Amino acid sequence: MNSAEIKRIKTKTGIEILWIYILKLLEKKPCHSYLLRKKIHKEFEFLPGNVTVYVVLYKLKARGFVSSKRKENKIVYSITKKGSELLKEGKKIFEERNKMLK
C-alpha cells in the first residue's frame, strides 16, 4: 500500500528523526558524512539529502552528541557518551511505542 498515510509515517520516522539513524551508525563505527548517507540508504532504506546530513551532524556536534576529527581530507564523526545515552533513550521510546501498537 502506498497511501498518503503510509508515505507520511515513512517521512516522520525517517528524515524527520535522522539523528537517531546517524547515532546508530556511529555507534557501530566512526564515519564521514558522505559514507553515513550511503549507509542510511542501505540499512534504513531512505536517502537523506547531502546537506541534510551535514546539518544534523553539525547540530549533534554542537550539542555534544558527536565529536569529529580530521582524518586525511575528511572529517570523521564519532558518537560520544552523551550521544550513546541519547540513542538509548530514543530506542527506548520506539520500543515503548511499538509495544503499544501490538
Residue with cell 521510546: 93
Q: What is the share, in percent, of the chain residues with pLDDT greater than 70?
A: 99
pLDDT band at 57 (very low <50, low <70, confident <90, very high): very high
Tell whether the model's pLDDT for residue 71 goes beyond 80. yes
Kindly report the length of the chain: 102
For 40-89, give the DSSP string. HHHHHS----HHHHHHHHHHHHHTTSEEEEEETTEEEEEE-HHHHHHHHH
Q: What is the pTM of this model?
A: 0.92
Residue with cell 540513542: 87
5-33 pLDDT, tens digit each: 988 888 888 889 999 999 999 999 999 99
In CATH, what is the architecture of 4-101?
Orthogonal Bundle (1.10)
Mean pLDDT of 47-69: 95
